[in-house]
Structure 1
């Protein structure tokens, strides 16, 4: 079983791009995708990952392609959470879709995608890096 962790934000267009990219990967056996969402610092409404519209859209597309889907969520440090979840599920690949930011914005606020790429010990697929869906 090939396991993919797809970190999904709130942008539905980027989530669909991620799901399509995963569905288009060559398959030599079963593929399972964990759709992961980080609720930032807290989740006061107590929402679950399945309630995020972007996650639901990605799940629909993947399931239509007969790809097994499960879910994971966290609240807090997104980089740590992505990397720890990848370890927990034994992910073979990480799939991320960065938000478009100016170079100044990246310098001031950092980039989860950039930090995950630098710290990951497994391949990372970056989808829609041109900022589509912004």
Structure 2
């Protein structure tokens, strides 16, 4: 199956798994394909970043511009660059799942890569409401990436 366009969705809560997200997307995209790195902001986060970057709210700055200046986007972009992968950066403002699903449709993405919460004590991956909606509603396959846990020790199972 061709993976020409891979949508890699990241948000501020993905900070601890940027490496895994970048590696996953880079490992599945076609050699001449591209990764669209989508950073979704809610209004509050967007306003905070605008303030931090001293962006005049009346200027013609778009969510794309703001996401290009976001630290986590820069981090992932550098990782994709080192992996020699073609990528572009997009920003979206609004509800995360809606933004990801909308962008996947607009791009006609072959795959969506999203992050999720760490495993629960029972060892199951916990899907947040966003990743769950994307998994259920996307028109293309979705790869779910959870951060590697720091502890690799397996819990002792009672005999």
Normalising by structure 2, what TM-score? 0.68
Structure 2, unmatched stretches of 5+, are 54-65, 121-127, 151-159
Give distance in 1, aligned partners of 2:89 and 2:28: 20
* Structure 1: distance between partners of 2:103 and 2:29: 24
Given the alignment of the two structures, is residue 71 of structure 1 paired with residue 89 of structure 2, yes or no?
yes
Aligned-partner Cα distance in 2 for 1:75–1:9? 11
Q: CA deviation at 1:16?
A: 1.5
- Matched residues in 2 for 1:75 and 1:26: separation? 26
| Cα distance between partner residues in 2 of 1:8 and 1:72 | 11
Structure 1 position 30, deviation (Å):
0.9
Rg larger in structure: 2
What residue in structure 1 maps to residue 112 of structure 2?
94
Matches within 5 A, 1:83-122: 83-100=101-118, 111-122=129-140
Give the Cα separation in 2 of the matches to 1:26 and 1:60: 16
Q: For residue 91 of structure 1, report the CA deviation from its aligned partner.
A: 1.0
Structure 1: gaps of 5 or more residues:
103-109
Residue 36 of structure 2 corresponds to which residue in structure 1? 34
Tell me the distance in 2 between the aligned counterparts of 1:94 and 1:113.
10
